[in-house]
């Protein structure tokens, strides 16, 4: 009895503490309706959400949580990715060895595992999120535009995964990327092995050849080598995350502006 009383007293004391009040604007124990509303409004992260929702919209059986989980996994990838960047150098000379060291030398070296499996998982959750949105007809007006943003997010997610695939610089990596690069070389007109590229020539001078085509732009060389590794690294760690964040911001904003989670009207 006195024990729990003491705890209560402690808790009340903490809540009156200046530091606590400074951090948690709403206060500690949230009991009244007004406080519950304020928690959401006062917190920058929670305030991505509306304050009140129709009940179906919070049910797991409706949203499957897939959009939110995609975002969460993206955050996990960001954190583990930053940790990996401490150890990894994107050069042909060091890349593979750094990856080996990562598992052999670094204490608690699970970051690479978590990063890789999260990447796989994110592709899956994004697909399932799209599938849910389709099955509930949530792409219908007024959400057409957000669906389009979503498709771009899906493509970006796969590109993130694809660019990351090269970085360990093992056999699996370079040959998987070679398959992709061969496709880029076959782009119509701008790929050296694509239809129509030989038409872009004056006399004997070809404008599109293996050192000036789409494949070369992607790899920074004719083959998967030093140039490709650097390009993929920069895109993977800076370029694509930046773009995908932009699209996510628009995506979340539009979820709210289009009237929140869809529902029967």
Partner 1 sequence: MEQIKDFINIISAPQISFTAIILLFFFIFPPNDLFYKIHRGLRIHKLWTKGGGITIFSFLTIFFIFGITDQNFRMIVTKPDNVPIVALLYLVVFFLWFSLKQAYDNDKRIDEGKGPNEAEDAKQKVLVWPDLVYIELIAMVSVAALLLVWAVALGAPLEEPANPTVSPNPSKAPWYFLGLQEMLVYFDPWIAGVLFPTVIMLGFISIPFLDNNRKGSGYFTFKERKMAISIFLFFWLVLWIFLITTGTFLRGPNWNFFGPFEYWDKHKLVALTNVNLSELFYMVWQNKQLPSNILLREMPGFLLVGAYLGLLPLILAKTLFKKVYERLGPIRYSVFIIFLLIAISLPIKMYLRWGFNIKYLVSIPEFFFNI
Interface positions with ligand HEM (CB under 6 A): 63, 66-68, 70-71, 126, 129-130, 133, 136, 138-139, 143, 146-147, 150-151, 153-154, 157, 248, 251, 255, 261-262
Q: Which does 70 bind (CB under 5 to 8 A by kind): partner 1, ligand HEM, none?
A: ligand HEM
Q: Which of 184, 178, 133, 183 is nearest to 154 (CA)?
A: 133
- Nearer of residues 126 and 208 to ligand HEM, judged by Cβ: 126
Give the one entry of partner 1, ligand HEM, none that residue 133 binds, where binding means its C-beta sits below a cut-off of 5 to 8 angstroms depending on kind. ligand HEM
Distant-in-sequence, close-in-space partners of 134: CB < 8 Å, separation ≥ 6: none
CB of 159 to ligand HEM, least distance (A): 11
Give the nearer residue to ligand HEM in terms of CB position, either 97 or 137: 137
Partners of 109 in the beta sheet? none
DSSP state of 48: G
Residues β-bridged to residue 201: 206
Backbone angles phi, psi at 205, to 5 degrees: -90, 110
Distance between CA atoms of 150 and 251, rounded to whole angstroms? 7
Chosen from partner 1, ligand HEM, none, partner binding at 264 (C-beta under 5 to 8 Å by type): partner 1
186 secondary structure, DSSP code: T
Please state the φ and ψ torsions of residue 134, each to the nearest 5 degrees: -65, -45
153 binds, among ligand HEM, partner 1, none (CB under 5 to 8 A by kind): ligand HEM
Contacts of 56 (CB under 8 A, 6+ apart): 62, 263, 264
Q: Based on CB atoms, which residue is closest to partner 1, 7 or 188?
A: 188
CA atoms within a 13 Å half-sphere pointing along the CA-CB vector of 161: 19
Residues 258 and 146: beta-carbon distance below 8 Å: yes
Compare residues 24 and 139 and give the one whose CB is closer to ligand HEM. Answer: 139
CB nearer to ligand HEM: give 24 or 62.
62
Instruction: Specify the residue, 67 or 194, whose C-beta has the smaller distance to ligand HEM.
Output: 67
CB atoms within 10 A of CB 232: 25
Count of C-beta atoms within a 10 Å radius of residue 173: 20
Q: Show the tokens assigned to 189.
A: 């007109």
For ligand HEM, the nearest residue by Cβ is 150
Q: Which is nearer to ligand HEM, 142 or 196 (CB)?
A: 142
Residue 129 contact among partner 1, ligand HEM, none, beta carbon within 5 to 8 Å by kind: ligand HEM
Binding partner of residue 82 among ligand HEM, partner 1, none, CB under 5 to 8 Å per kind?
none
Which of ligand HEM, partner 1, none interacts with 12 (beta carbon under 5 to 8 A by kind)? Answer: none
Shortest spacing between CB 160 and ligand HEM, in angstroms: 9
Smallest distance from partner 1 to CB 200, Å: 11
């Amino acid at each position: 009895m006195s024990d729990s009383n003491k705890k209560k007293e402690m808790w009340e004391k903490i809540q009156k503490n200046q530091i606590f009040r400074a951090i948690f604007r709403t206060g500690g124990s949230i009991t009244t309706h007004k406080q519950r509303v304020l928690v959401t409004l006062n917190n920058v992260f929670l305030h991505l959400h509306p304050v009140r929702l129709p009940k179906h919209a919070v049910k797991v059986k409706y949203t499957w949580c897939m959009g939110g989980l995609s975002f969460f996994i993206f955050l996990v990838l960001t954190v583990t990715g930053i940790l990996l960047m401490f150890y990894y150098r994107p050069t042909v000379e060091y890349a593979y060895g750094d990856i080996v060291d990562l598992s052999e030398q670094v204490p608690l070296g699970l970051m690479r595992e978590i990063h890789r499996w999260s990447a796989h998982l994110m592709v899956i959750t994004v697909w399932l999120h799209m599938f849910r949105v389709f099955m509930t007809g949530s792409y219908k007006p007024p959400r057409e535009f957000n669906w389009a943003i979503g498709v771009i997010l899906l493509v970006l997610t796969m590109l993130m995964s694809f660019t990351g695939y090269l970085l360990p610089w093992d056999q699996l990596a370079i040959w998987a990327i070679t398959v992709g690069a061969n496709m880029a070389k076959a782009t119509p007109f701008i790929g050296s092995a694509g239809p129509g590229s030989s038409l872009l020539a004056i006399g004997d001078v070809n404008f599109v050849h293996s050192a000036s085509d789409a494949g070369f732009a992607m790899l920074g060389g004719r083959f998967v080598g030093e140039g490709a590794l650097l390009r993929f690294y920069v895109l993977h760690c800076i370029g694509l995350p930046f773009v995908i964040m932009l699209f996510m911001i628009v995506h979340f904003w539009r979820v709210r502006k289009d009237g929140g989670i869809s529902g029967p009207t």
